[in-house]
Amino acid sequence: MMILKFSKKIIEWLENTWKPTFFQLGLTRILFCLGFIVVGLPHFNQISGYDLEFFDPPVGVSLVLGPITSENFWWNFDLIIRIVFVLVLAGFRTKESSIAFGLLLIFGFSYEYSYGKINHNIFPVIFPIIMAFTNWGGALSIDSIRKGGLQLEPKGWPLTFLSFLLGWGYFTAGLPKLIGGWLDPSYSSTAGFILRRYYSSSGPLYLNEMFVKINSLFINKVFDYSTLAFELGFILTIFWAAVYLRAVGVAVMFHLGVLLTVNIPFTLHVLVFLPYIIYFYFDRNSRTSEKFEKFLLEKRKFFIIVLVVLSLGIITDYNPQLFKFHRHMILFLVGIPSFFMLLPNFVHVYLRKVTSRLFT
């Protein structure tokens, strides 16, 4: 009886914590893809030039298949990734293309990691696979035009599942810090990261040099304790949507702070917070989303032309200097709305009034 009751609570938490709309999910899909474009789609054709002596695959597909050294294979693999990515962006057979995009990235990165290069990008890699089950192709997509009124319902349980994975990820990052001595008041681990990045990188960025000069144990211990509190406590917020949304704002500001002080960018990672940020600003009771969606539909011919040009550029890998953006810009762009998520409610009420006037 106790097990059934507990199972019922889990199912209720999974299904009822988040109630996104098609518009929120469609906007998430588009902004996620645009963020990927700014940061740069990954290329794997360089794998063909890696020295086989360094091939030491972890458990996974690269261990089973062995090394792939064909330059033609990896060139075609990159082309397929770009084509599938365009399908996700345009929202054509969105569920299938999203899953395919995530699986292709897993395959490519498994080979990258087999040669010793490790990036902390697992969440943006699995993100499109998880979001595929929200039916995020139900709006602002070719699928929504093709299917007309025969759309599936938007699903919220993948957002709950993603929140758990994020919480668990932060917890497993914070636990070794806790065990490893970050609470010791006699020294600061954050100071070690700041100094190491300052002397090992090609040049200091943002506030890194300033904190090297400050060299205050008190300030650095505040960073140590704040990091532990955030990483260990984030998972506790996943059971309450309102609290979790605030925690998302803290998470993005945390990663922005890590970039500014330590020169460690988690650029793609902040894109996985997009569905929650959009959920916060375009809640179900707000008319702003309806007006914004209407505005996009009225200008759809313009956006279709932009989409076609952008798709051709992505598939042909045409990226002139004029359209190159600094990859760190994503952290700042996501950080701005995330900061406002931490402000009192009366500020949000005022912002809703302002934004609603823009689309009247």
Tell me, what's the pLDDT at 289? 63
Q: What is the distance of C-alpha 239 from the center of its chain?
A: 20
Taking residues 64-88, what's their average pLDDT? 90
Q: How confident is the model at residue 73 (pLDDT cuts 50, 70, 90)?
A: very high
Q: How confident is the model at residue 321 (pLDDT cuts 50, 70, 90)?
A: very low
Per-residue pLDDT reduced to its tens digit, 179-213: 988 998 888 888 888 888 888 766 667 888 888 88
Residue 95 has pLDDT above 90, yes or no: yes
Q: How confident is the model at residue 293 (pLDDT cuts 50, 70, 90)?
A: low
Per-residue b or e along 153-183, where b marks 16 or more CB atoms closer than 10 Å to that residue's CB? ebbbbbbbebbebbbebbeeebeebeeeebe
The type of residue at 273 is F
Tell me, what's the pLDDT at 202? 62
Q: How far apart are CA 36 and CA 96, in angstroms?
A: 19
**Contacts with 216 (C-beta within 8 Å, 6 or more apart), sequence order:** none
Contact 98, 128 (CB under 8 A): yes
Contact 115, 47 (CB under 8 A): yes
pTM of the predicted protein model: 0.88
Per-residue pLDDT reduced to its tens digit, 111-159: 888 887 767 788 999 999 999 999 998 888 888 877 655 567 899 999 9
**Contacts with 56 (C-beta within 8 Å, 6 or more apart), sequence order:** 114, 115, 116
Residue with more model confidence, 4 or 264: 264
Tell me, what's the pLDDT at 158? 95
Q: How confident is the model at residue 322 (pLDDT cuts 50, 70, 90)?
A: very low
Residue 14 has pLDDT above 90, yes or no: no
